[in-house]
Amino acid sequence: MTKLLIAASVAAVTLAASPAIAQDWSGGYVGIHGGYGQTNDQDDERLRFDRNLDGNFGDTVRTAAGADAFSPGSCGGSANTGVFADGCDDDFDAAEAGVRAGWDFQFGSFVVGALVEYSGVSAEDSVTSYSSTPASYTFERKLENLAAVRARLGYAMGPALFYGTAGGASGEMSNQFFSSNGVNSFDATVNDDEADGYQAGGGIEYRLAGNLTLTGEYIYTSLEAPDFTIRVGRGIAPANNPFVLTPNTTGTDITRSNGRFGLHAVRIGMNYRF
């Protein structure tokens, strides 16, 4: 997050450092953008369990002796091994590139407008919990593309337009599950691959020669992730396996505690104004 803030500050200072010249921001534009981002990891995220398959994920998976089978703990990211002490790899930084089109109206120094945007994204968000077996259980989300419709409100100062922006967003998201447990069976249930939510942020648009403008902005994206559940069955495990003990010998459902996907992104772009 520190790198994001530094990059945004540098972009703001660079774009704003210019003599004040009156500009007209009314009209349409098309543009491209690219950027770098980080997922909004939660340090306290973990996996949650439904032992009696009643749809409520607040149960504890216990061993035949009554101990918490997931007592080692959890970490953000993908497991290095099946042992909690070996830790997790951090999620990869996100890459993003896309296109946009919009229209602005200027009233004195104030500018209002709207835009539509489509981005190709490569971002992932993982969480791992560990059992005392030992074994690891990892849930991974991947955001692959992102569409948004946002409003924009800005203030013009010479060749620079300072603006805030917010609106709706929708993305395509895939879910995967990995485990070092080789004896139980694992069946996945997912409702769809669409994730809906919102975007908000701000930036600077700076007018270059002719009809070209340069943009630097920070955008936060928050999406409601698709439901993704793993049903753990007995497989070839013994009958006293914690996942199939009473009250339900059918198995145990697992999901992750955080239902939202968050992405912090800093972007640089260029627009052509008509």
Residue 7, pLDDT score? 47
**Structural domain boundaries of the chain?**
2-273
Q: Which CATH number fits domain 2-273: 3.60.20.40, 3.40.30.10, 2.40.160.20, 1.10.3720.10?
A: 2.40.160.20
Per DSSP, which regions of the chain are E strands? 27-39, 47-50, 73-76, 78-79, 88-89, 94-107, 110-131, 135-157, 160-179, 185-190, 194-207, 212-224, 228-233, 252-256, 260-273
- pLDDT less than 70: residues of the chain: 1-22
Rounded Cα distance between 201 and 240, Å, is 52
d(CA 151, CA 199): 10
Output the pLDDT for position 209.
Answer: 86
The reported pLDDT for the residue numbered 22 is: 58
pLDDT at residue 14, rounded to an integer: 47
pLDDT value for 181: 98
CB 206 within 8 A of CB 268: no
Q: Which two three-digit tokens encode residue 81?
A: 């091994």
**pLDDT (tens digit per residue) in 179-214:** 999 999 999 998 778 999 999 999 999 999 889 999
The first and second tokens of residue 229, run together, are 């559940």
Structure tokens at 171: 């993305």
Residue-level pLDDT at 204: 98
